Structure 1
Amino acid sequence: MGDFRLLDIEFEHSGQQQIITPILLQDEHDTILVDCGYPNFMSLLEKAVNRYDITLDSITKLIVTHHDIDHIGSLAAIKRTYPHIQIIAYEMEVPYIEGDKKVIRLEQAESTFDELPAEAKPYVQQFMDSLKAVETVRVDQTVTNGEILPWCGGIEIVHTPGHVPGHISLYLPSSKTLIAGDVVVIEQEKLGIANPQFADDLDEALRSVKLLLDYDIEQLVCYHGGLFQGDVQQAIQQLVQDYTT
């Protein structure tokens, strides 16, 4: 399957069965993890990489697509356990990951909290508390839009804002693969925009989806939904059409 491996992780969250799909990239020198799940996910990650006869301590780099809790929840624990792993993030995301800025989902929740119906407040309070409890961690290397990282045949950084302003996707030209992060998700075998009601900027999220049409993508991997089955370009065009008509 090209030069990437899917790390499907099944778990229960808020009483629902869920799956997330971090990605493993590997060449002769490096083993690179893309995103790392919720807090306390290290044992689940270990099991997922073990399926490929790989161990977490052999990972050399960890690329973060954005700072949402389900993508960076275990980042600090991983870095503490394996300090040699280099954490890589987009320049706009660094203040959120390092704790210098309040995370966007917490800002959103706080701004609407007073208007919520009473029965919703305990759930949202719990959500806010979980966001505040995420450990911060220093980023070792920042990346910029269009930068090509020299590993695994080249990894192009594609700035895809909207879900959050500093969201990135990764394009692997050697296998025409796009690691989408949350720029798109797969729901009922169709592409969609991730939680459009919570998108920081839905218009920008749609512009980011359109941007994907500039890339020759044969394989598309979503953090929520895994590997897309079908014609990627056609599915992206359909998604754009659905939101613009």
Structure 2
Amino acid sequence: MKIIELPIEYEFNRQKNYIYPSLIIVNKELTLVDTGYTNFLTLIESEILKNGYGVNNLKNIIITHYDDDHVGSLYEFKEKYPWITIIASEIESKYISGELKAERLVQAEELLENMSNEDIEFGKWFIQQLKNLKPVLINKKVNDGDVILDNECRVVATPGHTSGHISLYFPRLKSIITGDAAVKENHELVIANPQFCLNVEKAEQSLIKIKNLKAENYYCYHGGKFTL
């Protein structure tokens, strides 16, 4: 069993950026954690192939939360690889499947009302990005403490960034995949984008929660792998 981070390079506002989806290998079966923005499928496929694995062996996709940089290519993956099991928290699954209006969209629309003229165009663009996301049905809904992936992974509820955000704890590897519950910044773990957290207090509590698990490796979606 192992975890591989997949550095995905892209350009935004003429600047080079990276995200770090994770690939989990358990008993030769592959699980991808988060799918990047829309149209990132080929970028992620390429990184998986670079590491010597065939995407046809992809069994699961786990979504940590419903933000466009995490679920953007989920629909494309499910279309191309229909056998994949999609896993998400009970709460986030309602937004991913389109059953409920996404929290992030509600937040973005509320923020738009008070945006400066400089920011309003970006705000409108971001709202449209969220509205363009295609709903995907969740095959397996999980909750805090659930054990998945042949009992190697424990689901850890880490609300704050969004209400149903989850992280993934691998006791045998002493590793955590944090999603946006933590990011690597200046050689330390901090909460991601506190200005956009739906509940900063809960986000801070969730960061303490995953730090208290005493892992040695934290796989952060933004910033990359952090090793104590």
Aligned to 1:184: 182
What amino acid sits opposite 1:61 in the alignment? N
Identity %: 37
Shift of 1:194: 0.2
Structure 2: unaligned runs, 5 residues or longer: none
- Report how many residues are paired: 228
**SS of structure 2 residue aligned to 1:60:** strand
- Aligned pair partner of 1:221 in 204, 215, 219: 219
Q: Is 1:210 equivalent to 2:208 in the alignment? A: yes
What amino acid sits opposite 1:141 in the alignment? K
For residues 58-92 of structure 1, the C-alpha deviation after alignment (integer angstroms, 9 at most, x for no partner) is 20001111111101100011001100010000001
Aligned to 2:102: 103
Aligned to 1:173: 171
What amino acid sits opposite 2:187 in the alignment? E
After superposition, residues 1-245 of structure 1 pair within 5 angstroms as: 3-151=2-150, 154-229=152-227, 231=228
The alpha-carbon distance between structure 1 residues 213 and 46, as it changes in their structure 2 partners (threshold 3 A), is closer
Structure 1: unaligned runs, 5 residues or longer: 232-245
What amino acid sits opposite 2:79 in the alignment? R
**SS of structure 1 residue aligned to 2:172:** coil
Query: What TM-score, normalized by structure 1, do the two folds share?
Result: 0.89
What amino acid sits opposite 2:16 in the alignment? Q
Distance in structure 1 (CA, Å) of the matches to 2:149 and 2:23: 16
Q: Which structure has the larger Rg?
A: 1
Distance in structure 2 (CA, Å) of the matches to 1:178 and 1:113: 35
More strand by percentage: 2
**SS of structure 1 residue aligned to 2:133:** coil
Shift of 1:121: 1.2
Distance in structure 2 (CA, Å) of the matches to 1:109 and 1:150: 34
Give the alignment's Cα RMSD to 1 decimal. Answer: 1.3
> Contact conserved, 2:26 with 2:149, CA < 8 A, in 1?
no
Segment drifting more, 36-45 vs 119-128? 119-128
What amino acid sits opposite 1:193 in the alignment? I
The alpha-carbon distance between structure 1 residues 3 and 109, as it changes in their structure 2 partners (threshold 3 A), is same
Distance in structure 2 (CA, Å) of the matches to 1:198 and 1:209: 16
Segment drifting more, 157-166 vs 120-129? 120-129
> Contact conserved, 2:19 with 2:222, CA < 8 A, in 1?
yes
Shift of 1:118: 2.0
Query: What TM-score, normalized by structure 2, do the two folds share?
Result: 0.96
Distance in structure 1 (CA, Å) of the matches to 2:47 and 2:174: 24
**SS of structure 1 residue aligned to 2:35:** coil
What amino acid sits opposite 1:164 in the alignment? T
> Contact conserved, 2:190 with 2:207, CA < 8 A, in 1?
no
